[in-house]
Structure 1
Amino acid sequence: MVVLALVVFVTLSSCSLGCSGNRTSSVPKLWSTENQSMALQLAAVFKEMESLRCEQTTLQQQQQQQQSALTQMHVTREQRGERHEVGTTVLTYGPNDDEEDDLHLSGEDSKRRADPCFHYTVLDQPWRATNATTKSKMCDRNVKWKGWYRLFYQGKSIQMPERCVPVDKCGTHSPLWLAGPHPRMRDGIVTRKVCGHWKKKCCAFKSTPIKVKKCRGNYYVYMFAPPTACYLAYCADINTLVCGRCRRNQSCVSRDRINWRCKTRKSPARKIHFFASFPGQLKGKVNRIKYSKVLVNVGRGFSRRTGMFRAPVNGVYQFFFSTQSANTGQKTDLWLVVNSYWVAVSHTHVARPSSVGNLSTYMTFLRKGALIYVTHNCGRSWANAASMTITFGGSLLAQWK
């Protein structure tokens, strides 16, 4: 009983000293007790074993502390680098924008200062790509988000994915993707839900909704918010790299939300129709009839002030013009003039006392900007406010590129 008590006492004393880093025994001292009693020798052996175990525990703790410090330093550097990059707001007008000539318009400047499409922060971090995997997992909850951001990948415009992204991608455990379609230009600023993929559930994490807007030049800006938990991070879909190369008259389309391409938008066919009349009498030479009563002017191609029609677009047009004559033995001619060429005539010749009217039509291809009007060359034409006998009209039949 005395031997066991001595062993336990020596062991406890040894552990308390060893774990504090002050070992009092060593191997040479241990073997110097060989001439002592068996109880003391056993106590010394247990003391040395416990001291070695406590020292090993202390070394492991120190190693863990060093590893934790290195990890924290790495994360801090990543966050500092990120905040330095996303903390500087840039004023830009974006690639593929054709409206730069309008920048000097003072009326537009105030609008653009408030438009996030022209005032955003560049976020170009390759680890956010949908194909990127990193050993250190990032968490956007630690980022101080402020204002609007535009995603880039190695200097190329990119956008968030609209589909579920595999776990452990985008430099994090649970990648965040946009749970809804990107808006159209006319939608303005919209709010979209954000989902995080985890454990085979595409929306295991329902993160804080964000705001999105589509900009001219076919790119998007996002108002990011801290996610609900760690480790979650916003993704940048590298499959949408092609969208940054689309022109102003193109849309970035995809059937499977994986393979994207630029598609030229078809301009809607213009509707152009006009009909006007002259409520009075014309006699002799009138170089250009100014039809003052305009009943139809779809497309705003006809001018009441000048009496001329200007073709708004390239295409095939059809025109008609009419006259009414009542003087015996007199002929009356009205000519349709296209770009200063007399191309068609409306002719009347009264042989006996009566009233004669005539309607002529003409179809041709015109380029945008072509000018058409009617001239009264000779004779006398009659009309009043209700008769509609001196008329001029036309329509666009087919629009051409």
Structure 2
Amino acid sequence: MVVLAVAVFVTLSSCALGCSGNMNPSELQSLKIQPAAVFKQMKNPQCEQTTLQQQQDALTQVNMKSLKQKTQSDFGTTLLTYGTSDEEEYDLRVSEEDSRRKSDPCFHYTVLDDAWRATNSTSKLRMCDRNVKWKGWYRLFYKGKSIQMPERCVPVNKCSTHAPLWLTGPHPKRRAGIVTRQVCGHWKKNCCAFKSSPIQVKKCLGNYYVYKFTKPVSCDLAYCADVNTLVCSRCRRNQSCVSRDKINWKCKTKKVIRRQVHFFASFPGQLSGKVNRIKYSKVLVNEGRAFSSRTGVFRAPVSGVYQFFFSTQTANAGQKTDLWLVVNGYWVAVSHTLVTRPSSVGSLATYMTFLRQGASVYVTHNCGKSWANAASMTITFGGSMLLQKK
């Protein structure tokens, strides 16, 4: 507080001196003795303006000293900013992003749209990329559509050249950045007869590639554009990309293999009381191999609509006999018999349902007594698939 008072006093005294015009030593001494005279001099408008200017200059110097220096690191570049605002920091980030894009080949490449480079091209021209002055990065197109280099051997005299150049390694993933790949030229039944100079490749956001081509080792060699990557990328889910000569490709609808599923089995003996799962040991039909005589369980090999039937024969008067069809653990249909007088009664039940692949179906003997022999075929279980679903 004492220092502040002194500073204010000195400032005011200087202002009073400057605003009063000519002041002799006695007057100055009077000002030092009588501070009230100083405040009186400040009433002068000119003195007041000068004082305010001095205070503003002092505040400016204090603010300049209090500015904080901070370091920002973005894209590997260190920036020093002094009290920057949010707008200035945003401008710096945008500037760094622009700098990054300037060095990224994904944003700076030359379009190479030569139809003769296509792997299905059989032009009589004999092009040679050794005559091209390669500079920078290139992106391959075919008739205005993005395409990429082949990753397998291309037949001789394709791509309008003698020895077509292809990429010996796979295209990189985007996180791999820029990679180096070997390039080979096919000639005289040797897919890598010409080991050309390596090139650089990068995958870009947007699922396309850029290449830094170099001059081939000799003529006639030329870089190829794989039309397979253009055609097969348009195939639907139910289609596959096929080719007879591995050069001309097309989308072809996949053939759905219709499976035949039929089975018929019998139990050549007697059943009494509760049998959790009847193991039909005599299997007469098992088209599709979906029924197991060891377990007595049918498992749907494919999704579709199935129809089942099961039967029994009983002869005990006053006793009911129930057989249940069990699908995925649920009892869904019953074959029921009840004999009221001494006689033999048979029963047959059917059931149709939709099953997903892997569904299980079997028959359980819940109560009563069933009989059969090797010739009678009275305790039976069978079914067929009526409609196959995709």
TM range (shorter): 0.3 to 0.5
**TM-score, length-scaled by structure 2:** 0.45
| TM-score, normalisation: structure 1 | 0.44
